[in-house]
Structure 1
Amino acid sequence: MKTKYRHLLGLGRSSVVAVRSRLAAAASVVALLVVALTGAATGAATAAPQVPTAPQASTASQLPQVSQAAPVSAADAVPGWVCPGTAIPDGWVISLRDANGCNGAGSWFMQPAQDGMWICATSPIPAGYVLTMHTPNGCNANIDTWFMQLPVDGQYVCAGSPIPTGYVLTGHMDQGCNGIGSWFEVVARAGEYICPGVPVPPGFRTDAYNAAMCSGLGGWYLLPA
């Protein structure tokens, strides 16, 4: 992914509470997705059904959110505490919260992104990273927190995690990522079966459908374009 992001922090506690309330529904949403897909996919090598919504959409509202606004230069950025409404530069994340900061409005700790760190639900997800673990009681404030890593070939990522360019999802575990649901992510190769709704990487195309693939959700055979 080459898109650059920035993010504006929420304006108070209400946004944090809203994120937590939506988390409670996330696991049931993923479960409904599994039931709907497995109910339509019986047998093997059958005619392919209509491709459903990409799997990451099922919990996107619970994930750190990104903005499509013009990027902010990080040239003068310094790690430290910032108040709600502060623009977060591209490539930076929010990793901690202080509920008493900014005269009671709450402050957030901003720092450069790095491989293997926990980020708050209010943080942007810098391009090229994936989310591999989740806890609802982190960020020094008992709010949703996600473990962010650089992608590797053959790892489980949380439902809603970005799919980096050149990677695909080939398996699913509905109770992974602390109940959110997780997807097995690999480097795209000819001969893989990719899960429903996964974007087809450049240089590839899909062919036969097999209902037994992607942990029973069904999958499309990947071939060179």
Structure 2
Amino acid sequence: MMNLFSIFDPISSIFNLPLNWISSIIGLLMLPQIYWYIMPRMNMIFLSVSKKIHYEMKVLMGNKKNYGSTLILFSLFMFIFFNNLLGLFPYIFTSSSHLTFTLTMALPLWLSFIMFGWIKNTNHMFAHLVPQNTPPILMPFMVMIETISNMIRALTLSVRLTANMIAGHLLMTLLSSLGMTINSSYIMFLLFIQIMLLILESAVAIIQSYVFMILSTLYYSEVN
């Protein structure tokens, strides 16, 4: 040591690589692993959306303990949403615009609700056929109307989703076919309309999956 202060600057090296500053990194290695964990932004958005949807479904279902029900319906929402969204990309089959796809989800869901309601809550299902304060003369008609409305719920769920997806895609296809026939001066205007329709269809993809989930939640709350 040339002087007293040289002890604060030792010369350490391996293969001529200076190692003096590694001592400042050693302390960082002692931190717990959770300190380095930062949730990705997509995960944060997904978790915040799922918490809000779970809370909304619990409000619709009431204060009853429905373990797993919100998880199943939220998974259904995400499945329909991603299928709707993928259908907006070129050369990708839009499965949600076919009744085979929508009926496969709506029919078993509706059938399980109906079976659960009539087996577990028979009196409640009979009482639900006649709304409160209905005049006695109208009770037979109300029973018929409520029965028909309950029977066609699976069909209305599936047709609503299919019709909305077909309508938007059909309009975009018809407008895009005009690109080869109209004057080149109108191409930019047509492109602008197509972009606006694409944004609208993106919103429809979210809204229709949300409507499917909310209506399924309401049907579940009616039989429980």
Normalized per residue, the structure richer in helix is: 2
Q: What TM-score, normalized to structure 2?
A: 0.27
TM-score, normalisation: structure 1: 0.27
Larger strand share, 1 or 2: 1
For the pair shown, the structure with the greater C-alpha radius of gyration is 2
